[in-house]
Amino acid sequence: HIAIAGNIGIGKIDATRLLARHYGWKPHYEQVAHNPYLEDYYRDIKRWSFPLEVFYLKERFKDLLQLQKQQEDIVQDRSIYERYVFTANNHDLGNLDDRDFETYMELFEDMTDVVRYPDLMVYLRCSVGHLASNIEKRGRSYEEQMPLRYLESLNRRYEDFITKQYQGRVLIIDRELDFLANPSDLGFITDKIDRELFGLFPDK
């Protein structure tokens, strides 16, 4: 069970699809478009943060319960643990009050207590400028109103979570990648995954 983590626009869907094809594993995608609160959220983040985050949390929990019953090797586009990053970020920005955040965290902790960590979380890290460029290219109308400071604060939250709080096994890819245009970028990741999981290559 490999989970692909990273900020909005980092390329998690492409990475999940290409890694699943490379290894012959089953891809499992986050169902972004199916969240009924998403468009409302980008129009009024403060009003819709709590229902949006609770919806994502219960969907990721259902995903993990299902995945843990399967015997297949899986590449997952974003795990339940990243929901903490987004919710804590909204709390930091004043989009969630303390009461809603505490309620959410109780749910989050109860759910994550009964599931297992992925065997490896691959964290894709890059600059906000690269994220903004990718978001512009994919042209999702509901993302066009996203403030740049929101991406910046998410990047900071991800760094804090991955390096200081997450207790599972992590591989950090610190590089701006284009999986579709440059096959060598995918090879860069698979070499590191092979070394991390299978010990096939010496450290460089």
User: 3-state secondary structure string, 80-116?
Assistant: CCHHHHHHHHHHHCCCCCHHHHHHHHHHHHHHHCCCC
What average pLDDT score do residues 112-138 get? 87
What average pLDDT score do residues 10-39 get? 87
DSSP, collapsed to helix, strand or coil, labels residue 158 as: helix
Q: What is the pLDDT of residue 141?
A: 67
Where are the strands (E) in the chain, listed by range?
2-6, 26-28, 74-77, 120-125, 170-174
The residue from 14, 63, 77, 100 that is catalytic is 77
pLDDT band for 200, please (50, 70, 90 cuts).
Answer: low
Q: What is the pLDDT of residue 124?
A: 93
Q: What is the pLDDT of residue 145?
A: 67
Q: What values do phi and psi take at 201, rounded to 5?
A: -130, 145
Q: What is the pLDDT of residue 32?
A: 61
What average pLDDT score do residues 94-117 get? 94
Is position 174 annotated as part of the catalytic site? no
Q: What is the pLDDT of residue 67?
A: 85
Question: Which tens digits make up the pLDDT trace of 58-90?
Answer: 988 988 888 888 889 999 998 899 999 999 999
In angstroms, the CA 177 to CA 188 distance is 9
In angstroms, the CA 11 to CA 177 distance is 8
Q: What is the pLDDT of residue 193?
A: 94
In the structure, how many helices (H) and strands (E) does the chain have? Answer: 8, 5
DSSP, collapsed to helix, strand or coil, labels residue 10 as: coil
Q: Is residue 97 predicted with pLDDT exceeding 70?
A: yes
Question: Which tens digits make up the pLDDT trace of 152-198?
Answer: 999 999 999 999 999 999 999 987 777 778 888 888 999 999 999 88
Question: Which tens digits make up the pLDDT trace of 129-154?
Answer: 888 887 877 767 666 667 788 889 99
Higher pLDDT, 32 or 50: 50
Work out the mean pLDDT of the chain and round it to a whole number: 88
Q: What is the pTM of this model?
A: 0.85
Q: What is the pLDDT of residue 43?
A: 87
